[in-house]
Copies of this chain bind each other. A is one copy, B any other.
Amino acid sequence: MATYLVKVFISYRKGVLDPQGVAVEKAAHQLGFTKVRNVRVGKYITMEIEADSVEEVKREVEEMAKRFLVNPVIEEYTYEVEEVK
């Protein structure tokens, strides 16, 4: 058994309205950061998983994504796994 650190990056699919992204972009422009575009605000989830292998961790993460972490209609995700202990 080892401990793995998992980082999951969830963002809205292209074409899905992202009001938080719009708000951040507006704030940026108002504060003088005028060269900023296409701001999108998603989720950055980190967790630790105990498992015997990276493959087991990947299965767990993909199963969690499917079951409850990600809404595939409006969101897409990527993830990274690294062993920590």
Chain A residues in the interface with B (C-beta under 8 A): 7, 9-11, 21, 24-25, 27-28, 31, 33, 35-51, 60, 63-64, 67-69
Contacts and interface: CB of A to CB of B under 8 A. Distances in A.
- The secondary structure that dominates the A interface is strand
B44 A10 contact: yes
Contact of A39 (B9, B36, B45, B63): B45
A42 B45 contact: yes
A67 B37 contact: no
A68 B30 CA distance: 11
A40 B8 CA distance: 10
Contacts of A47: 24-25, 28, 36-40
